[in-house]
Amino acid sequence: MKKGEERMDDRERKPDNRNNKKRNYQLYIILAIVAAVTVALITGLDSLVKKSTTKKVTYDEFVEAVEEGKVDSVKISSARVTFTLTDDLRMTYYTPYLPDSNLLPMLNEAGVEYTGTEDSSGSAILEFILVYILPFALIWILMGFFMRRIGGGSGGMMGIGKANTATNMSRATGVTFADVAGEDEAKESLTEIVDFLHNPQKYVQIGAKLPKGALLVGPPGTGKTLLARAVAGEANVPFFYISGSDFVELFVGVGASRVREMFKDAKRNAPCLIFIDEIDAVGRQRGTGLGGGHDEREQTLNQLLTEMDGFGENEGIIIMAATNRPDVLDPALLRPGRFDRQVTVSLPDANEREAILKVHAKNKILANDVNIKNLSLRTPGFSGADLENLLNEAALLAVRRNKDAITMDEIDEATDRVLMGPAKVSRKITDKEKRLVAIHESGHAVIGIKLEDANEVHKITIIPRGVAGGYTMMLPKEEKIGIMTKNELVAQITGLLGGRVSEEMYLHEITTGASDDFKRATKIARAMVTEYGMSDLGPVEYEEKQEGVFLGRDYGKAKNFSDKVAHEIDEEVRKIINDCYKKAEDILKANKDLVMLLADALMENETLTKEQIDSLVKTGKLNQDKEEKDKTVADLKEEAKIKGIKGYSKMTKEELEEALKED
């Protein structure tokens, strides 16, 4: 920054400093009043207590009491002699102090305990300090402490209303669009903003008005914050970052003042980019909620709306925000002139997942058996954050197993961990329970193998994870955009019911293991009837469409049908479930040998991969020879290490295979 600019900034800050000083003086006056009232209360209470428990006597009466042996203890000061009597210790007596050389000898002769001396001029000062000054000092310290806590550390005791935006501003984010894998459509929508921040005059000359604000909408973990940082990095402008919750405070008006401070700082550093993360924390619809509203949050939102309106057309300030709940935002935020451009940041498809995995795999050592493209096909529904976590979990497992590189074994285990949780290896499972789970999961798998519209079976395991005793991984055969046919939904329900049907058919027993399957199947069937119009009740929406987590509201579904129709809906849902149950019975009855084959293989191996499942379906046995050929160098080194083969770390693949054969 140039010297001239620095001086200009100083001039701009002077009015703010004067206002701050004025507020500080006002606060000091309030504190002084509180302190004076406190001292007055202490003094009044002290005098009341003393009047009720003390009594004044003459000096002669005091001497007479000492001589008669009635005095218990004496306290001598420069102003008075205070004493208590042996027969009444609750009452304190006092008499003005008179210079008397015989006082101390008299007290010693009578055996009376005393404190102080005849020269106790400093005791009155000490008493004043302890009674009046010390409580006041303690009150001042405590008030200062609580004011700092309330202010959140922003400017100490006098900086309650200041925002923390100064600490959240960065001159260079260090992130560009090259660091954001996938989301090509979102990046294209934000390119205009980058270009405007680079060269605003180009737009001014032609009379174009760029949107003042851009709202990034999408599920958690899709890279909304990263995109905002990339925009600032591409434009090479200051980046102001603040969370919506940072504006929400206990005291009314504090959040609004923080909004003002943030925009003042932004104007001083224009052109720049302001990014508000989780804006739904402060931007929810006004007047909603059980209490009818929240004064502090609504005042903060009003101030935000005012500041956005106060932008000049070409001030060079772009405001961006992110949320996964756009439906709860106040309509005033979304009108033209504010957040008038919405950019959807959706879950990545297969190609985008591959690009994301390549970015996160740059600093990781992967074995030769790891195929990024195949991994991207096996992770539908994963967000960018999920994929990053997947590779990180795999790296941690590789280190734990003392491997030099991340193999497919670690990635498979990491995938299971992300989806279902860590394996419960310490849990003792009986053979009966193991057989039951194997039959159950084999039922799911056979439906997926034999039913045309079902998802493809990629993995079967009977190792307990999370709350599940085992699970069958079934993934779509092709990447879809969210549209599903009736046959595909029916196939999903049939596959979910396959586990219970297999139990009943081959074990002649039913268990609680299918409870989650029933829940999911019923949900799909009910949606087919009430939302998708896929039943005999016709193409009518009987309930409001149930959106995903990031698009749904907190309110229940609206019931817009009679009790008679409700009964008919229940009947249609039951009919769909029963038809799918019968279809599952027919498939499993016709493929009993395959069910038993898969169950036996699971009992022996506990986990079956897609290759092993395909081998069992085609040949009736596992292709162990192929499995041996596909072992990587890392796998061979691990095996050689266990067997204690010397010099294994420097051997080639062929040498390792030969050494293992000889051993």
**266: which 2 tokens?**
């932004």
Indicate the SS3 state at residue 317. strand
**274: which 2 tokens?**
């302001």
Q: Angle formed by the axes of helices 592-605 and 610-619, to 10°?
A: 140
Q: Are the C-beta atoms of residues 458 and 378 closer than 8 Å to each other? A: yes
Indicate the SS3 state at residue 73. strand
Which residues are CB-contacts of 21 (< 8 A; sequence separation ≥ 6)? none
CA separation for the pair 364, 341 (Å, rounded): 38
479 carries an active-site annotation: no
CA angle 471-476-480, nearest 5°?
A: 140
Going through 255-361 in order, the beta strands assigned E by DSSP cover 272-277, 317-323, 341-344
Q: What is the dihedral of CA 435, 437, 443, 444, to 10 degrees?
A: -160
For residue 95, what are the CA distances in angstroms to 55, 57, 61, 92? 9, 5, 9, 11
Instruction: Give the count of beta carbons closer than 10 Å to the beta carbon of residue 388.
Output: 18
CA separation for the pair 290, 28 (Å, rounded): 39
The 8-class DSSP code of residue 524 comes to H
- Among 288, 287, 205, 272, smallest CA distance to 235 is for 272
CA angle 656-659-660, nearest 5°?
A: 85
Instruction: Give the count of beta carbons closer than 10 Å to the beta carbon of residue 131.
Output: 13
Query: Is the N-terminal amide bond of 476 cis, ω within 30° of 0?
Result: no
Indicate the SS3 state at residue 590. helix
Query: Given 441, 503, 572, 638, which residue is catalytic?
Result: 441
If 0-12 CB within 10 Å is exposed, 13-18 middle and 19+ buried, where does residue 654 land? exposed
- Active-site residue list: 441
